[in-house]
């Protein structure tokens, strides 16, 4: 059985991830959730994508490649790639 601590860690990581995305894209984190299609975020651009990838790398030591990003549709897809790479 998974402990409550495990679920707390997942929730904390999800919230931290969404906060990183919000900060880099200069949007309110409450406007985002894991089901958000990141290309629909108004401030999303190829330059901001590089900033997001760089920040994720800085925060988690996980490098998301451009092909990884191209294969993602939602923030959850990116989050899952980071989680799977740890």
Please tell us whether the domain made up of 4-85 is placed in CATH 3.40.47.10.
no
Q: How confident is the model at residue 9 (pLDDT cuts 50, 70, 90)?
A: low
19-56 per-position pLDDT tens digit: 999 999 999 999 999 999 999 999 999 999 999 999 99
Instruction: Domain ranges for the chain, please list them.
Output: 4-85
Q: How confident is the model at residue 4 (pLDDT cuts 50, 70, 90)?
A: very low
pTM greater than 0.95: no
Residue 76 pLDDT greater than 50, yes or no: yes
52-61: long-range contacts, CB 8 A cutoff, minimum separation 24 = 52/20, 52/21, 52/24, 52/25, 55/20, 55/23, 55/24, 56/20, 56/82, 59/16, 59/20, 60/86
């Amino acid at each position: 059985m998974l402990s409550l601590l495990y679920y707390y860690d997942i929730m904390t990581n999800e919230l931290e991830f969404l906060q990183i995305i919000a900060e880099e894209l200069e949007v309110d984190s409450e406007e985002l959730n894991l089901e958000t299609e990141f290309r629909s975020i108004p401030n999303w651009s190829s330059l901001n994508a590089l900033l997001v990838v760089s920040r994720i790398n800085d925060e988690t030591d996980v490098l998301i490649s451009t092909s990884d990003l191209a294969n993602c549709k939602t923030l959850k897809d990116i989050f899952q790639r980071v989680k799977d790479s740890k």
